[in-house]
Amino acid sequence: MAEMRNLKEGGYVMVDGEPCRILSLVKSKPGKHGEAKARIEVVGIFDGKKHSIVKPVTGTIQVPMILKKKAQVVSVQGESVQLMDLETYEMFDLSIPAGKTFTEGEEVIYIEVEGKRGFSDR
């Protein structure tokens, strides 16, 4: 958990159980009868959906643990690619992001967040 005031653009937060990257962060001044607010615009890492969140700057939000891992491409089958993790030798399939191509035997980096795997949009 992190306070809204400590977040930075380019950081990561969890929104509705989905890991998201912070696109923008705007903090307002406190009003006469209220406290300062923070408004963040985020985009989902895996689903690409945009969200907007407004909370007090002292409010908290969950920050995900993002693991970058290496895998080797075993095979390419249409819209998905079969990978083997280079540490655990576990085999799994991921969908191929638009505009990317893979070749068999190539080493790639993927991310794992809260049990979900995918390729980063960065």
The CATH number given to whatever domain includes residue 98 is: 2.40.50.140
The CATH number given to whatever domain includes residue 32 is: 2.30.30.30
113, 95: one domain: yes
Looking at residue 97, its pLDDT comes to 85
77, 100: one domain: yes
pLDDT at 53 over 80: yes
- Angstrom distance (rounded) from CA 56 to CA 72: 44
C-alpha distances in Å from residue 114, one per residue of 73, 78, 111: 23, 27, 10
Range of the domain at 78: 66-118
Distance of CA 89 to the CA centre of its chain: 24
- CA gyration radius, the chain: 18
Domains in the chain, number: 2
**Strand partners for 68:** 111
97, 114: one domain: yes
Predicted structure pTM score: 0.80
Distance of CA 38 to the CA centre of its chain: 20
77, 48: one domain: no
Kindly report, residue by residue over 58-84, the tens digit of the pLDDT: 999 999 999 999 999 999 998 899 999
